């Protein structure tokens, strides 16, 4: 197990290195950031001076080597635009994003898992149909549209929640709902199909025949087995939500990493974009690893061993 984790972590380094090369290359294709940092009317000499100060007049490989040697020590340099260490900016904003993503996922799970199970248990009933409609709506509504709709109804119309910003728990409700809606739909669908499959298994029938209460059969034996694909998708969903938070954060003026990233990309803030991508990629890799490890807990038949050739 320890060997497996160590090997996976080593592989992750390769992934992160690959990501950094791609992001570095893409960023440098988007053009010179100096001109966006200076006033439009700035003279060429001022532009040259600024470029030198930012280290942008070195050859590309020198810039990448510098970036990499610093990054391994946890130093992503100063954000061009804010002149603050890039990591400082990320750590200031990451809690807000994790909070929003966590709340979005919680909302999705709290609604989707029971809904999916009920739909499976009451297959082809009105309840099942209602769940299907909910799933369809959740997947069809773009987050910016749903976000504005929620603001109009629950902030402006009913006055229950604030329209924007991050002031207290009530400000979390609307953005988390908007962000979680799409995941909710996907998870509900997965929970329903997973549950249907498990309910048709022999051991469920055997358990029922043995006179075990229906509740225990469903929630203790069936659900745990139906949970494996669910855990996979929840892990992936968390990563997707981290990305999806960009739009939600913009609509609800939520001060998270997503907004920071968009802003950094538009202003060609190379160090900040690279740092954000590195941090998010690391998070994603770690979540994937955790998901794989959770499998062994859910299904003891899954054991990670050294591969045999």
Partner 1 sequence: MPHMQRIFVIALAVLVALTAPAGAAGERDVTIAQGIDAEFLDVQMTNNIVTLIINTSIYDTLLTRDKQLNLVPSLATAYKNVSEKVWEVKLRPNVKFHNGEPFSAEAVKFSFERIFRADFKSPQKGWFSTIDRVEIVDPTTVRFHTKLPDPAMPARMTLMYQLAPKYVAQVGDQQANLKPVGTGPFKFVEWQKNERIVVEANDAHWSGKPAVRRATWRPIPELGARIAALQTGQADLIVNVPPDQLQTLAATKTVRVEKIPSCRIINFAIAQIKGGPIGDKRVRQALNHAVDMQGILDAVLMGNGKRINSFMPTNVWGYDPAIPLYDYNPKKAKELLAAAGQTNLTLTLQAPNGRWAMDKDVAQAVAGQLTENGIKTNIKIIGEWGAYVRTILDHKTEEIAMNGWCLPSLEPDHWVTPNLKTGEPVSQYGNPEVDKLMDAARAEMNVDKRKQLYSQLLRLIHDEAPYIFGYQQMDIYGVNNRLKWTPRGDESIRLTEISF
Contact residues for partner 1, defined by CB under 8 A: 30-31, 35-44, 46, 50, 53-54, 81-84, 89, 92-93, 95-96, 99, 102-103, 106, 109-110, 148, 151-152, 155-156, 159, 162-169, 171-172, 219-220, 223, 250-253, 255-256, 259-260, 263, 266-268
Nearer to partner 1 among residue 167 and residue 202 (C-beta) = 167
Nearer to partner 1 among residue 81 and residue 192 (C-beta) = 81
Nearer to partner 1 among residue 92 and residue 139 (C-beta) = 92
How far apart are CB 4 and partner 1 at their closest, in Å?
A: 25
How far apart are CB 68 and partner 1 at their closest, in Å?
A: 23
Nearer to partner 1 among residue 12 and residue 267 (C-beta) = 267
How far apart are CB 249 and partner 1 at their closest, in Å?
A: 8
How far apart are CB 182 and partner 1 at their closest, in Å?
A: 18
Nearer to partner 1 among residue 132 and residue 229 (C-beta) = 229
DSSP per-residue codes, the chain: -HHHHHHHHHHHHHHHHHHHHHHHHHHHHT--SHHHHS-TT--HHHHHHHHHHTTTTS-HHHHHHHHHHHHTTT---B-TTT-SBHHHHHHHHHHHHHHHHHHHHHHHHHHHHHHHHHHHHTTTSHHHHHHHHHHHHHHHS-HHHHHHHHIIIIIIIS--S-SSS--STHHHHHHHHHHHHHHHHHHHHHHHHHHHHHHTSHHHHHHHHTT--HHHIIIIIIHHHHHHHHHHHHHHHHHHHHHHHHHHHHHTT--SHHHHHHHHHHTT-HHHHHHHHHHHHHHHHHHHHHHHHHHHHH-TT----PPP-
How far apart are CB 66 and partner 1 at their closest, in Å?
A: 18
């Amino acid at each position: 197990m320890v060997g497996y984790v160590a090997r996976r972590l080593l592989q992750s380094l390769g992934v992160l290195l690959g990501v950094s090369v791609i992001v570095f290359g893409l960023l440098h294709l988007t053009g010179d950031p100096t001109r966006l940092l200076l006033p439009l009317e700035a003279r060429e000499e001022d532009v040259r001076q600024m470029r030198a100060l930012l280290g942008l007049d070195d050859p590309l490989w020198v810039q990448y080597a510098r970036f990499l040697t610093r990054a391994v020590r946890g130093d992503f340099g100063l954000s061009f635009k804010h002149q603050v260490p890039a990591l400082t900016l990320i750590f200031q904003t990451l809690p807000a994003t994790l909070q929003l993503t966590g709340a979005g996922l919680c909302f999705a799970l709290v609604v989707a898992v029971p809904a999916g199970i009920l739909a499976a248990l009451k297959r082809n009933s009105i309840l099942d149909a209602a769940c299907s409609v909910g799933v369809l709506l959740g997947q069809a509504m773009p987050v910016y549209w749903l976000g504005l709709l929620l603001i109009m109804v629950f902030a402006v119309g009913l006055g229950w929640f604030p329209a924007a910003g991050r002031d207290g728990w009530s400000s979390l409700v609307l953005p988390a709902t908007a962000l979680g809606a799409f995941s909710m739909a996907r998870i509900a669908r997965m929970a329903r199909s997973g549950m249907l499959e498990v309910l048709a298994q022999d051991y469920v029938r055997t358990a029922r025949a043995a006179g075990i209460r229906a509740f225990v059969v469903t929630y203790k034996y069936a659900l745990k087995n139906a949970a494996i694909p669910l855990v996979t998708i929840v892990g992936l969903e968390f990563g997707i939500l981290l990305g999806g938070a960009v739009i939600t954060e913009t609509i609800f003026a939520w001060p998270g990493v997503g907004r920071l990233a968009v802003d950094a990309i538009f202003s060609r803030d190379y160090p900040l974009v690279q740092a954000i991508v590195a941090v998010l990629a690391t998070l994603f890799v770690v979540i994937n690893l955790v998901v794989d490890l959770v499998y062994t807990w859910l299904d003891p038949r899954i054991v990670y061993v050294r591969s045999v050739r």
